Chains A and B, each alone.
Chain A
Amino acid sequence: MKKLCKKAYFYFILIFLYAPILTLVVFSFNDAKSRGKWGGFSLRWYKELFHNSQIMDALVTTIVLALLAAFISTVIGTVAALALHKSGTRLRKSMINLTYLPMLNSDIVTGVSLMLLFTFFHLDLGFVTLLLSHITFCIPYVILSVMPKLYGMNQSVFEAALDLGASQLQAYKKIVLPDILPGIISGFLMSITLSIDDFVISFFNTGNGVKNISILVYTSKTGVKPENYALSSIMFGAVLILLLIINIKEKKKSTEVNY
């Protein structure tokens, strides 16, 4: 009985979380243009989606932006984590505190402050400023996921490699990198997620008609086109399948739940 209550409550929360998503998916197959009215099943919006240059441009911007921002912030963040790991405690502590500042600040303050910076230095708001702002909020998360791996690493293996005649670079490549690779990958993936999902910081730091999906939705809030429903349904389906595949693969690796 108690178990049943718990299950029921959990499913209730899941329904709550999925209600709007289901709505989007259902209405993406709706033949009528107005939301709220059902005009029969059709794949019309999926067809029109690929002819809507505005949405396609936004999609390309979102993806390119996410990949670039994630790649650059992963490189900078990983190198910084390696260097911080080796530097003195006082320097490290103060720099790590500064690193976490953008994470503690609300998005709106980060967004506004970057906009002030770009206009102060007469940088035209557009793709470059968008990219810079995304790199800015991604780096802390990369450092945050690489740092623990560095501390969890066995330092003597690295020293043994040096004793056995490996150069610093070789030792890093063969010993350190494989050890911290899971951290780097999760930092990269987290950056992509954050970049794709971000609205507030992008909103303040874009211009010249450069729009990612979030900004496109916001600027057309009085009439979000049904094509957007179709696009988000496709994206959601892809993500869900990806997550489930990762889930199944992990399960094969170990029966223990590690999250």
Chain B
Amino acid sequence: MKVKKSLYMVALFPFLIWLILLVVVPLMLIGYYGFTNAAGIFSFDNFHQFFQPDYLRVLWRSLYLSLVATVFCLLAGYPVAMILAGNTFRKKTLLVVLLIAPMWMNFLLRTYAWLTLLEGNGVFNTILQAMGLPKQSFLGNTNAVVFGMVYNFLPYMIFPIYNSISKIPKNILEAARDLGGGNATCFFRIILPLSVPGIISGITMVFVPGVTTFVISQFLGSGKVTLIGDIIEQQFMHAGNWGFGSAISIVVMVVVVVCMWLVNRFSDDSGVMMP
């Protein structure tokens, strides 16, 4: 038995090294850079610098825009998941494949393609002009950024919800109908509560990347909408202020963890979801 145990420890070894070197140590380094000043002495300078109205406004904007995008994804994605799980279509697998396929296209190119459609002389404006309507400026505002987030992250909302809805045993729904439950009752008392795990992971998978994106804001926001990801990117890649960048990363980590904890708490209290 003893030999066996040590063999497993050897098998665990590469994984342990990976875990320590590439997961734990990097996070500790972020902590180190975040909590030291330029001279390498422990200080809260970087955090003081961050907790100024200007930066807090950017953080708030990132959280707010990502929240709006998450709500839109939920509202637009839930029906899709339900339709997919229901019996509207016969060739369901094909439709699942069709929904997954766009995700295989490079995400930057997809976002870039929206530029072609939405820009000043883009496809949409050409169509508008052909119909005799005035040109619109779609890009360079917060709406464009939210739109980009919804576009890029919608599948991440649909699939977890689809998975949890399709796991609901059919006989529960049949029982509810036998007992006289209408469509609304079935939805609010069975489908919705039982799909909460899917909703939670959907929210996580949309909200977290939304808060920290910097590609969408740069492409579709034309650089006019600064998000917290933009500031982190600037600090590391252009300003060379790693301490400040690390401090912002720490704040973002904490905020995201707190948000997710709140969402989970809300869902544990399943009574809230029931009418």
Contact = CB atoms under 8 A, between A and B. Distances in A.
Interface of A: 3, 6-7, 9-10, 13-14, 16-21, 23-24, 27, 35-37, 76-77, 79-80, 82-84, 86-87, 95, 98-99, 101-102, 104-110, 112-117, 120, 132, 135-136, 139, 168, 193, 196-197, 199-200, 204, 213-214, 217-218, 221, 224, 228-229, 232, 235-236, 239-240, 243-244, 247, 250-251, 257, 259
Interface stretch (B6-14, B138-146, B188-196): B6-14
B7 to A, nearest CB: 8
A113 B30 contact: yes
B166 interface: yes
Contact of B99 (A17, A36, A218, A221): A17
A243 B100 contact: yes
Interface in B2-52: 4, 7-9, 11-12, 14-16, 18-19, 21-27, 29-30, 33
Contacts of B260: 104
25 contacts: A7-B83, A23-B123, A24-B105, A24-B109, A24-B113, A36-B121, A36-B123, A79-B11, A80-B11, A82-B11, A83-B8, A84-B15, A95-B16, A106-B211, A106-B252, A107-B212, A197-B104, A199-B215, A228-B109, A232-B106, A235-B106, A236-B104, A239-B104, A239-B105, A243-B104
A87 B29 contact: no
A59 B2 CA distance: 49
A87 to B, nearest CB: 6
Interface in B86-129: 86, 88-89, 92-117, 119, 121-123, 126
Given A13-B76, A21-B105, A83 B12 contact: yes
A107 B94 contact: no
Interface string B238-253: 0000100110010011
Contact of B26 (A36, A117, A232, A236): A117
Contact of B89 (A10, A110, A243): A10
Given A36-B121, A83-B12, A117-B22, 15 more contacts: A9-B80, A21-B113, A27-B116, A80-B14, A83-B11, A83-B15, A102-B23, A106-B256, A112-B30, A199-B215, A217-B106, A221-B219, A235-B106, A239-B104, A240-B104
Contacts of A112: 30, 232, 236, 245-246, 249
Contact of A197 (B86, B107, B121, B236): B107
A232 B105 contact: yes
Contacts of A21: 102, 105, 110, 113
Nearest to A75: B14
Contacts, number: 222
B163 interface: yes
A181 to B, nearest CB: 18
Nearest to B7: A168
A243 B18 contact: no
B102 A7 contact: no
B154 interface: yes
A79 B14 CA distance: 9
Nearest to A18: B102
Contacts of B267: none
A116 B117 CA distance: 38
B144 to A, nearest CB: 13
A222 to B, nearest CB: 11
A109 B30 contact: yes
Binding site of A, secondary structure by majority: helix, strand, loop or mixed? helix
Contacts of A218: 108, 215
Interface string B202-241: 0000001101101100110000000001001100110000
Binding site of B, secondary structure by majority: helix, strand, loop or mixed? helix
Contacts of B114: 20
Nearest to B19: A98
B271 to A, nearest CB: 27
B119 A36 contact: yes
Interface of B: 4, 7-9, 11-12, 14-16, 18-19, 21-27, 29-30, 33, 76, 79-80, 83-84, 86, 88-89, 92-117, 119, 121-123, 126, 151, 154-155, 162-163, 166, 208-209, 211-212, 214-215, 218-219, 229, 232-233, 236-237, 242, 245-246, 249, 252-253, 256-257, 260
B116 to A, nearest CB: 5
Contact of A116 (B8, B111, B113, B242): B242
A235 B212 CA distance: 28
Nearest to A212: B106
B209 A221 contact: no
Contacts of B237: 204
